Structure formats: structure tokens, C-alpha cells
Amino acid sequence: MLLDPAELYVDDAREALVFRHENQGAASWGILLNSLQDGDPAVFMRLDLADKSAERWEPWLERLSLCFVEIVLSEFVQVQADEELCDFLDADDDSVEVLEGNAVRLPFPAYPAGEENGSRWFLGQDVLLREDAGVAVLARGRTTADLDRVRDLIPGDWLNDYR
């Protein structure tokens, strides 16, 4: 969840300005304080761990502007009010291979930064898809028929497929 401007804060270690939290509090996103003067600074993510001494700000995306695009895209493929247009699949190697062979990868960097197998965005026929490191595929169709076409193309137990 994106924080309201009045909710922005500097983390306890005084390393980053925090502007976003994962909806269950498992992670936070921020900009390192020493880069606030940059025009389009890098964004870092910090996982909320049981061992607080192990928490670190890790690179997420190389530019804040990319992070905001990612937020919009991610929210779009996960809108609960549009459940009939959005779906989720526990991915495996076969489903990722079918996705890669039948959709166009968007020119958006994989993330977190430096992760070779991070999250990637794809566009199919009237469908936006995100593949998360071979673990999950999220999809949003323009119509239910568009989403059904992806469900038929990429086999598996889609979470919202009640056909």
C-alpha cells in the first residue's frame, strides 16, 4: 500500500524514507536518504524479518519512476473488485515456458534489481501478465473471454477459474 504523504517516515536506522508497505506488513519500500536529491532515485525494499538484525535495504528497482509504474501494474492485475478479470496460478517450468512462447515480454526490468529470475511483465492478446520468478503467474484480461483464453493456453489450477 502506498503511504499518504502525511504517513511518510524515515526508518528507525535513519537510512531511508519509507513510502510503501506490503499489505500484511511483510516488506517496506523506500528511498535511501543519501539519494533523495537525485532526480529519479533507486528504490530499495526491506523485508520484515523475525531477526531484526538481519533486515537490510536491498535494491528493488533502479528508478522511482519505474517503481510507480510497477505499483500501478501490480495493483491492476490484483484488483479484488474485478475478480472475474484477474487470476493467479502457481507456476511451474511448463507454465512459464508456455507464457514465454505465447506472450510478449514488456521492456520493464526484472525486479528485485539484480535478480536474474525476478518478476517480469508480459502482454498477451488483451491480457496483462506478471510472472514471479517461476513461482506464480498473475493475469488480468480486458474481458472474461480474454482471461479464459489465457487459462486455456497455460494449463494449471487457476485460483479464480470457476468454469
Bridge partners of residue 20, in order along the sequence: 2, 29
Burial of 29 (0-12, 13-18, 19+ CB in 10 A): buried
CA distances from 14 to 32, 65, 126 (A): 9, 23, 44
Helix (H, G, I), strand (E, B) or coil at 2: strand
Q: What is the pLDDT of residue 9?
A: 96
Is residue 113 pLDDT above 70, yes or no?
no
Confidence category of residue 100, pLDDT binned at 50, 70, 90: very high
* pLDDT beyond 90 at 59: yes
- On the CB side of 59, CA atoms within 13 Å amount to 12
Q: Are 127 and 139 in contact (CB under 8 A)?
A: yes
Per-residue pLDDT tens digits for 4-52: 999 999 998 889 999 999 888 899 999 999 999 999 999 999 999 999 8
